[in-house]
Amino acid sequence: MKVTNLLQLTEHHKYIAVRRFGLSPLDLRMLWTVYQPMIGGFAVSLYTALYAALDSEAVGSSAPKTLGQLFLACGLEPNEQGRKRLVDETSKLEAVGLLQTFRKKLMEEVVEYEFRLEPPLTPDQFFGVHHLWLLLQEKLGPAAAEALRRSFVKESFEEWGEEEGVETENISAPFYEVYRVSLPAAGDSETDLRTDGQDMQESLGRDGFRPEEMLQRFPRSSPNRRAVELLTSDAEKLAKLNYIALRCGLTLKQTVSLLDEDGQFGPDGEWLAEQFQKRAVELYRQSNSQARRKEQTLRKQQIAGGAAPQDPSGGPASAGGGERAVPESHWLPVPEQFQGQCDARQYNTMLANMPYSQVLKLFFAPAEVPVYVEEAFMAMNLDYQLPDEVLNVMVHYIRTNDLDWRRSFLEAIAANVAGKRIRSFENAVLYFHKEEQARTRAAAGKSARKPVGTDPRKGRPAAKPVIPVVRPAGKAEATEEDIKRIMEMAERLKNG
């Protein structure tokens, strides 16, 4: 507790105690046999006095009390020495992670103190915290500390975790496979279900990484160890962490590695969720790039060896011949770009079997595929779960109709395709064929509705009326008789 003026810590000031847990027999044993040698019996007594401020069968905040009551409960005199002792003992509890102290002020006057109690660490957590283990050894001696540790941990500490080369599979049944919960009626404010990142994890049917799993994998000597312990003890933050890990497909090892990086926690040990999500997305993209390169290499090796290409699920790409054949009724016409290079059968077989990334490169060649286009199609494949063959039909549709490659336009098409649950080459051909017909009808209807006398370039009334121009008629050459008659007429006019 950092108090510069002891007069702000008198017996008249108010305090409340807050806790969100209950002490088990194991917690009590940890408190009196492990924490007590480090912080002293008086600090543990203060901790239990604050714990008793709230009924043992409940959690939450206690009713406001005066510090004078706390002084009496701990046997402290309400004077300068008693206040100094209270500051010293609370500081010990704060240093080992059993207490957090907050002070509420109005202007310069202290209104209330808030003591937030934290549960003692479990044996596997405590003995993995480097600085706490060193402090216990310093207080008891290495031999006594080791004996105390072995009295709590009934297995070799080095054997914890997964053995190298042994794959451990979690076969636990998730909640949604065992229970069915009826949703409340809409508008029921008292039982309104939240759908933010913390609660959405349960709706996805995944239990997530457990605190003990993460702490067993996390390095005990890492400077982020204490911050991770606090993170895993907060159920709301742990649920958000699991949600981000699920969305980005992170394994337990990847999650622990990200938490061990610099910049994942603030100076006060607060978890920076936005920074973690940013790094998780970067790792997600890197993993997909590596997976695509690995898939391409595997396909090349299979083709070179004469083996049937495998689809991403591990089975053959088709039941016979190594490629999925496309019915002739669903063939797409070969674009002008590929005329002379392949026939209709080869072109449609390519669209039905090649990865969308390769098809994009073929359509954009010799130029490189723009980064925003590649990212848009990656999102379609990963977020919307659109198969490669559907994406290839989409590429054909956009190129042959000379449509825009803007990312917003691509995402609009992908959202519509995903919403209609189009998952096969044939269905995609039918869908885009209907879209093409609709575009043609719309363009024809717009052209037919143009009024006469409009500017054909803009479809607006012309600024000037259209006036027909009379062209002079062509004349034949004069004959000798015509010339003679003209000369006689001119002579008569001269003499007359």
List Cβ neighbours of 303 (8 Å cut-off, separation of 6 or more). Answer: 309
In this structure, what DSSP letter does residue 265 have? B
For the stretch 84-141, pLDDT in tens is 888 889 999 988 889 998 888 877 778 788 999 999 998 888 888 888 888 899 999 9
Q: Does 198 map to a domain?
A: no
Q: Distance (Å, rounded) from C-alpha 291 to C-alpha 74?
A: 63
Q: Does 465 map to a domain?
A: no
The total number of structural domains in the chain stands at 4
Instruction: State the pLDDT at residue 301.
Output: 62
Instruction: State the pLDDT at residue 197.
Output: 38
Q: Is 121 exposed, middle or buried (0-12, 13-18, 19+ CB in 10 A)?
A: buried
Instruction: State the pLDDT at residue 309.
Output: 43
- Domain interval for residue 148: 124-155
Residue 131 and residue 103 in one domain: no
Point out the domain boundary residue: 251, 279, 314: 314
| Contact by Cβ (8 Å): 399, 363 | yes
Q: Does 413 map to a domain?
A: yes
Q: Distance (Å, rounded) from C-alpha 84 to C-alpha 307?
A: 80
Residue 310 and residue 278 in one domain: yes
Q: Does 496 map to a domain?
A: no
Sort strands 99-106 and 109-117 into parallel, antiparallel or unpaired. antiparallel
Instruction: State the pLDDT at residue 27.
Output: 92
Point out the domain boundary residue: 120, 142, 165: 120
Residue 26 and residue 90 in one domain: yes
Q: Does 487 map to a domain?
A: no
Instruction: State the pLDDT at residue 297.
Output: 66
Q: Which residues pair with 110 in a beta bridge?
A: 105
Residue 365 and residue 309 in one domain: no
Residue 114 and residue 147 in one domain: no
Residue 337 and residue 441 in one domain: yes
Residue 56 and residue 16 in one domain: yes
Instruction: State the pLDDT at residue 308.
Output: 42
Cα 337 from chain centroid (whole Å) = 38
Residue 129 and residue 35 in one domain: no
Instruction: State the pLDDT at residue 220.
Output: 76
SS3 state of residue 329: helix
Q: Distance (Å, rounded) from C-alpha 120 to C-alpha 441?
A: 72
CA distances from 60 to 20, 57, 102, 257 (A): 6, 11, 16, 34
Q: Does 188 map to a domain?
A: no
Instruction: State the pLDDT at residue 120.
Output: 92
Q: Does 90 map to a domain?
A: yes
Instruction: State the pLDDT at residue 474.
Output: 54
Residue 387 and residue 418 in one domain: yes
pTM, 2 dp: 0.39
| Contact by Cβ (8 Å): 104, 49 | no
Residue 128 and residue 108 in one domain: no
Residue 219 and residue 238 in one domain: yes
Point out the domain boundary residue: 61, 94, 120: 120
Residue 63: what are its φ and ψ, rounded to 5°?
-70, 150
Q: Does 143 map to a domain?
A: yes
Residue 333 and residue 438 in one domain: yes
For the stretch 7-31, pLDDT in tens is 777 888 888 999 999 999 999 999 9
pLDDT along the chain (496 residues), means of 10: 75 89 92 92 91 88 88 86 88 90 82 89 85 89 90 62 63 70 46 38 51 80 84 85 77 86 86 85 70 62 51 37 73 86 86 84 83 80 81 90 85 86 88 84 68 52 58 62 81 75
